[in-house]
């Protein structure tokens, strides 16, 4: 994001760019949320196999609680940190009260409200004071057979929303979605810029998180 866009705003909105990356240590928790959604309940069930970088991970769980760190390490060899652990690691004493986090992603996720509810119940988190989904550029049907990237963006959206909420559980959340797949190069960037400008013009919040599918070196070719 070009900082000059923010600084030139006549309203002088102070914006913090949070970069949330899909890291392997969070995938086990996401997989349990997905299984609960597919089961149509708030119970984590088994079995579930998730493939990451060609390696299959199998999860076995039959309870209303997400996996513990020990369970994740035993099943995958990787840690699985809870929201509470992440907040402690970052010494996040401020819970975000009175603030709004704006999250920008392509497509979004058709089940994000339910997924967040399951996530919050599993980890004992309160619902955000407000959770809005805005699509000022319109939406496209969720059809992964036609556009497989929608699955990746659904995971990314879920990760962004759940972990922004984990770090600031008392903050409002506004999810803004683009109908264009943001990929390598400048594709999708004009739509992201429009959404940022829309958020600033409508005073939606002071904190902005956006996830890019592009690497920096492709933005100038």
Question: Does 37 fall in a domain?
Answer: no
The mean pLDDT value for 168-183 works out to 96
The mean pLDDT value for 32-42 works out to 39
> Which pLDDT score, from 0 to 100, does residue 188 have?
92
What residues pair up with 178 in beta bridges, in sequence order? Answer: 106
Question: Does 67 fall in a domain?
Answer: no
> Which pLDDT score, from 0 to 100, does residue 184 have?
85
In three-state secondary structure terms, 107 is coil
pLDDT(3) > 60: no
The mean pLDDT value for 76-84 works out to 83
For residue 27, give the H/E element and its range. helix 27-39
- Into how many domains does the chain fold? 1
Question: Does 46 fall in a domain?
Answer: no
What residues pair up with 16 in beta bridges, in sequence order? Answer: 207
161 close to 103: Cβ distance less than 8 angstroms: yes
Q: What is the pTM of this model?
A: 0.72
Q: What domain range is 106 assigned to?
A: 3-23+83-214
Residues with Cβ within 8 Å of 77's Cβ and at least 6 positions away in sequence, in order, are none
> Chain-wide mean pLDDT for the chain?
76
Question: Does 206 fall in a domain?
Answer: yes
Question: Does 44 fall in a domain?
Answer: no
- Predicted confidence (pLDDT) per residue in 184-203, tens digit: 888 899 999 999 999 999 99
Question: Does 11 fall in a domain?
Answer: yes
Question: Does 130 fall in a domain?
Answer: yes
Residue tagged 């030139």 (tokens): 8
76 close to 128: Cβ distance less than 8 angstroms: no
Question: Does 139 fall in a domain?
Answer: yes
* Two tokens, residue 177: 């979605």
In three-state secondary structure terms, 170 is coil
- Least reliable range by pLDDT among 36-40, 106-110, 196-200: 36-40
């Amino acid at each position: 994001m070009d900082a000059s866009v923010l600084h030139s705003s006549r309203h002088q909105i102070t914006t913090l760019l949070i970069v949330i990356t899909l890291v392997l240590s969070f995938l086990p928790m996401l997989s349990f949320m997905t299984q609960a959604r597919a089961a149509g309940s708030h119970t984590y069930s088994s079995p579930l196999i998730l493939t990451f970088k060609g390696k299959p991970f199998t999860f076995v769980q039959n309870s209303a609680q997400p996996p513990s760190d020990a369970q994740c390490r035993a099943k995958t060899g990787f840690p699985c940190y809870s929201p509470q652990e992440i907040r402690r690691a970052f010494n996040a004493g401020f819970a975000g009260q009175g603030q709004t986090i704006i999250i920008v992603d392509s497509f979004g996720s058709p089940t994000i409200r339910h997924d967040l509810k399951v996530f919050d119940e599993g980890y004992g988190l309160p619902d955000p004071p407000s959770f809005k989904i805005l699509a000022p550029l319109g939406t496209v049907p969720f059809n992964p057979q036609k556009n497989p990237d929608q699955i990746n963006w659904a995971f990314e959206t879920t990760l962004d929303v759940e972990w922004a909420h984990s770090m600031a559980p008392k903050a409002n959340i506004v999810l803004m979605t683009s109908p264009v797949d943001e990929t390598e190069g400048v594709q999708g960037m004009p739509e992201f810029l429009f959404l940022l400008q829309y958020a600033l013009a409508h005073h939606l919040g002071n904190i902005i998180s956006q996830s890019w599918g592009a690497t920096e070196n492709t933005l100038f070719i």
